[in-house]
């Protein structure tokens, strides 16, 4: 179990540290019923990841693949996608995993139900989120932990992928007045530095996942 968790940690950090997702939750927290809307958004994203885990965990488990090649290829693909993201951001192109600007501007009037659906939809259509999830599922399958421990390992990945968002929501819920100014400053800083942050995160994790995928595949 320990080895699997060690392999999952980079995936958890990579999935949790996507700047645009943090910005979305911060914007939601500043809107009417912000805590409810943000919690619903994270709930939709989490439910979609759990559904993906059940469906694709069953598919990979039924395929009988256990030599690590699937997870190696997925990690390599993740590295390539992150490098592509870094190049696109460096050239000031739109992030294909980011929501459209018009959608971002509609957050103020968003209901919890709609936010729940948007969270699920973004996880379902974002290519990098798919590869993060499939990589986690494949790593758990390769470890052959058994149904109960495998489900627990994937659940830890699912919770870890939204841990930063959950912390932001918890802070806003426990101290709404005191946290408003702080969250506003964090949101503004992220908006100003989102491009640079995404480039750095993509380059660092792109290099790591490319190296990890190649070494696992060759070894």
Determine the Cα–Cα distance for residues 112 and 39; give it in Å rounded to an integer: 8
100 pLDDT more than 60: no
Please give the pLDDT value at position 89.
77
What is the CB neighbour count within 10 angstroms for residue 106?
12
61 burial (CB, 10 Å; 0-12 / 13-18 / 19+) is middle
Please give the pLDDT value at position 15.
87
176 pLDDT more than 60: yes
148 pLDDT more than 70: yes
- Tell me: the pLDDT tens digits for 38-87? 999 999 999 999 998 888 876 655 555 555 677 677 778 878 888 888 88
Mean pLDDT of the chain: 82
Domain limits of the chain?
Answer: 2-218
Q: What is the dihedral of CA 155, 156, 157, 158, to 10 degrees?
A: 50
Q: What is the dihedral of CA 149, 14, 111, 50, to 10 degrees?
A: -20
Please give the pLDDT value at position 197.
80
What is the CB neighbour count within 10 angstroms for residue 110?
22
User: How large is the average pLDDT for residues 197-218?
Assistant: 79
191 pLDDT more than 60: yes
Q: Are 119 and 58 in contact (CB under 8 A)?
A: no
Determine the Cα–Cα distance for residues 110 and 112; give it in Å rounded to an integer: 7
Please give the pLDDT value at position 204.
84
């Amino acid at each position: 179990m320990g080895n699997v968790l060690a392999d999952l940690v980079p995936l958890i950090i990579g999935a949790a540290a996507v700047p645009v997702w943090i910005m979305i939750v911060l914007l939601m927290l500043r809107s009417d019923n912000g805590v409810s809307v943000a919690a619903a958004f994270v709930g939709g994203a989490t439910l979609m990841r759990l559904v993906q885990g059940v469906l694709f965990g069953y598919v990979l488990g039924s395929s009988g693949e256990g030599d690590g090649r699937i997870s190696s290829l997925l990690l390599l693909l993740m590295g390539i996608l992150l490098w592509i993201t870094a190049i696109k951001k460096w050239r000031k192109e739109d992030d294909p995993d980011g929501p459209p600007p018009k959608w971002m501007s509609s957050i103020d009037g968003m209901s919890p139900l709609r936010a729940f659906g948007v969270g699920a939809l973004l996880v379902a259509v974002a290519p990098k989120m798919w590869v993060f999830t499939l990589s986690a599922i494949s790593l758990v399958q390769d470890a052959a932990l058994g149904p109960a421990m495998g489900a627990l390992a994937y659940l830890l990945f699912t919770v870890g992928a939204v841990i930063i968002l959950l912390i932001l929501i918890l802070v806003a819920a426990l101290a709404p007045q005191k946290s408003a100014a702080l969250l506003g400053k964090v949101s503004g800083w992220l908006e100003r530095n989102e491009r640079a942050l995404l480039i750095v995160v993509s380059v660092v994790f792109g290099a790591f996942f490319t190296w990890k995928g190649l070494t696992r595949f060759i070894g």
